[in-house]
Amino acid sequence: MALVGRTAMWWARLRSPYPTGAPFCFPPWRPTGLAADWRLYSSRGKEKLDMSMYPVESIRNFSIIAHVDHGKSTLADRLLEITGTIAKTDCNKQVLDKLQVERERGITVKAQSASLFYNHEGVNYLLNLIDTPGHVDFSYEVSRSLSACQGVILVVDANEGIQAQTVANFYLAFEAQLTIIPVINKIDLKNADPERVEKQIEKLFDISADECVRISAKQGTNVEKVLQKVIEKIPPPQCNTADPLKALVFDSTFDHYRGVIANIALFGGEIQKGHKIVSAHTKKRYEVNEVGILTPSEQPTHKLYAGQVGYVIAGMKEVTEAQIGDTLFFYKQPVEPLPGFKSAKPMVFAGMYPVDQTEYNNLKSALERLTLNDSSVTVHRDSSLALGAGWRLGFLGLLHMEVFNQRLEQEYNMSVILTAPTVPYKAVLSSAKLIKEYGKEEITIINPAQFPDKLSVSEYLEPTVLGTIVTPHEYIGKIIALCQDRRAVQKDMLYMDEHRVMLKYLFPLNEIVVDFYDALKSLSSGYASFDYEDAGYQTADLIKMDILLNGNPVEELATIIHNDKAYATGKYICERLKDAIPRQLFEIAIQAAIGKKIIARETLKAYRKNVVAKCYGGDITRRMKLLKRQAEGKKLMRKIGNVEVPRDAFIRVLKRQTDK
């Protein structure tokens, strides 16, 4: 997973001259006075760092985890400043979150790691801050990043307290058996209530209040104390340079000139230029061109040693060659790959079409460029009779989809039609013929056209997620009703304190992919937070619903849906179509059907007149123009039976509703 953006930001900032008189100190490896452009500089034979001066005992690998907007990026800024990794200026305000979507949603999309150098009680420490993307869509990436750490800083807002994502993040770290340093941020705010947050932490996470560090990342209060805690509490990595090379890939980016830059954590051995390495996943062989540390831009070093974190460039041409979670080892010394590797698994699918077919090639090249850096998006060519040529894209989750779409629009100026998202269903086949045809018993269904009939299936399965909701208690009633409406099953309910409640529900994924988050935010006046994690598949009473126009099925509107939701959804689609299809010379029956059974119907009455306006001298030219436009429009309409359906009608029904 990689949605790049940050490296470039750092780059831009580092190139700009520092304000005169701004206090800053240099990292140990950086000669005084050379404040400019170190990436270019580093590429040309500056003396490389000798990383052997940082043995395992003086290394700490850690992440910062936090709910949206609780101050993770600001704290990272301060840590980088204190250790002299970046200059201290007034501009370091959540500089990492530069994408518009990051700022709008207050999330970190692209993680950026950095090595910090810090002298504590006379010892030089190498502190590797391994950043993580801040959203559950990327929970796999988060878990891989965490597996390179021995501890985490858990940041909680002193005003908002523990939120859904705090809980999810805590459990990720807890299950990975990492040391957790709770930090209560924003104590400078007027409504800050650190005691209450300490009590929540004690109650929910069983961490004593004394362990919490109260800070203001914005003002720099107590931030040094956090660094000291990192050194004192988090153990050094347990590994040995004498072992054979074993490196975890926890992130990767793509550089047009140098190819893939893989971020790695060494679990054993050492690595340097000229080494021949192999990917445990692809089995491909590479020769190392360059290794180095991230500061956070790449800083070449002679070698990297066990316990250290940095990057490797080894002639990989595509990001798919450096998949997150993969293990790298020496060609001649194979090792047991690190556990937990999974290929990126899309959980949400949506069709993407150019608004205008003449834009197809431009959109294609934009997609190619964007996916260069994001191997987790799957792209399959698709075409719809109504929307033309396009693609079916698979995303890790909803946010991932939104980020991708927004970047396409903002960075490539591409306007696209994105269809309502669907989830991958499964069917366990019972028909011997079908099993033979597919070569397996369990198949994944993405396209409704592939939906196998009930008679040849022993059961259908749908993906589920375990959702965590944290809310002020006054909204509980409404939220429980919302969850029940979404077929969710309550798993847990806990009062965190007298005001806040944490709810856990098992949701069918398809019930939350469209508008659940917006509905939750709206009925809780924005106070409830939500997070979810993958919870596998469950059996489900799935059916395929067809939409018929005067008895003829409309292929692109067929959907796979849960039986309980068929009536409401069918009715909704029929109503939307009724508004979207223009009246014609005859009556049109718009029906939703399951098999032969009609479950919803709307009737679009025949058009009764359209030329009642006056038509004399000056009106004639206008009328002829109008008729010509109508004739052009008719050419673009899709005929289903004798019904003419404008492309716009499909768009209105298929398109994701973002205006709710």
Give the integer Cα–Cα distance in Å for 183 and 205. Answer: 13
133 annotated among ligand-binding-site residues = yes
- Nearest C-alpha neighbor of 219 from the set 192, 188, 195, 194: 188
The tokens 């041409």 sit on which residue? 317
251 annotated among ligand-binding-site residues = no
616 binds another protein (CB under 8 A): yes
578 annotated among ligand-binding-site residues = no
- Nearest C-alpha neighbor of 163 from the set 72, 68, 73: 68
Element (H, E) at 246: strand 246-255
68 annotated among ligand-binding-site residues = yes
Closest CB 616 distance from another protein, rounded Å: 6
157 annotated among ligand-binding-site residues = no
Question: Cis peptide before 296, with omega less than 30 degrees from 0?
Answer: yes
- Binds another protein by CB under 8 A, chosen from 8, 22, 489, 620: 620
Which phi and psi angles does 182 have, rounded to 5°? -75, 135
The β-bridge relationship of strands 298-301 and 246-255 is unpaired
Of 8 and 620, which has the nearer Cβ to another protein? 620
Of 583 and 601, which has the nearer Cβ to another protein? 583
Per CB under 8 A, which region of 253-261, 415-423, 526-534, 614-622 contacts another protein? 614-622
**Structure-token pair, residue 530:** 């939500």
617 binds another protein (CB under 8 A): yes
Provide, for the chain, the percentages of residues in helix, strand and coil under a 3-state DSSP scheme, each rounded to the nearest 5: 30, 30, 35
635 binds another protein (CB under 8 A): no
- Nearest C-alpha neighbor of 115 from the set 318, 264, 329: 264
632 binds another protein (CB under 8 A): no
Angle CA 435–440–443, to nearest 5? 95
Of 432 and 612, which has the nearer Cβ to another protein? 612
Q: Is 294 helix (H, G, I), strand (E, B) or coil?
A: strand
**Structure-token pair, residue 576:** 């939307």
**Structure-token pair, residue 278:** 């192999």
* Residues in contact with another protein, shown as a per-residue x/- string from 536 to 575 under the rule CB under 8 A: ----------------------------------------
Backbone Cα Rg of the chain: 28
- For 250-290, the DSSP string reads EEEEEETTTEEEEEEEEEESEEETT-EEEETTT--EEE--E
- Binds another protein by CB under 8 A, chosen from 258, 623, 638, 652: 623
608 binds another protein (CB under 8 A): yes
The tokens 């499909």 sit on which residue? 650
618 binds another protein (CB under 8 A): yes
The one-character DSSP state at 328 is E
Burial class (CB in 10 A: 0-12, 13-18, 19+), 296: buried
Query: For residue 466, which amino acid is it?
Result: L
439 binds another protein (CB under 8 A): no
326 annotated among ligand-binding-site residues = no
Give the integer Cα–Cα distance in Å for 421 and 400. Answer: 12
Closest CB 566 distance from another protein, rounded Å: 30
* Residues in contact with another protein, shown as a per-residue x/- string from 398 to 427 under the rule CB under 8 A: ------------------------------
- Binds another protein by CB under 8 A, chosen from 624, 629, 636, 641: 624
Give the integer Cα–Cα distance in Å for 348 and 85. Answer: 38
432 binds another protein (CB under 8 A): no
Per CB under 8 A, which region of 267-275, 293-301, 514-522, 582-590 contacts another protein? 582-590
Closest CB 586 distance from another protein, rounded Å: 8
271 annotated among ligand-binding-site residues = no
Give the integer Cα–Cα distance in Å for 459 and 456. Answer: 9
585 binds another protein (CB under 8 A): yes
Q: Count the residues of the shown chain that bind another protein, applying the rule CB under 8 A.
A: 19
Closest CB 646 distance from another protein, rounded Å: 17
381 binds another protein (CB under 8 A): no
609 binds another protein (CB under 8 A): yes
Angle CA 573–576–581, to nearest 5? 115
Per CB under 8 A, which region of 292-300, 347-355, 451-459, 611-619 contacts another protein? 611-619
Strand partners, 442: 428
- Binds another protein by CB under 8 A, chosen from 45, 596, 613, 659: 613
Closest CB 642 distance from another protein, rounded Å: 9
Residue ranges at the known binding site: 66-73, 131-135, 185-188
Residues that bind another protein (CB under 8 A): 583, 585-586, 605, 608-609, 611-618, 620-621, 623-624, 627
Binding site per annotation, positions for GTP? 66-73, 131-135, 185-188
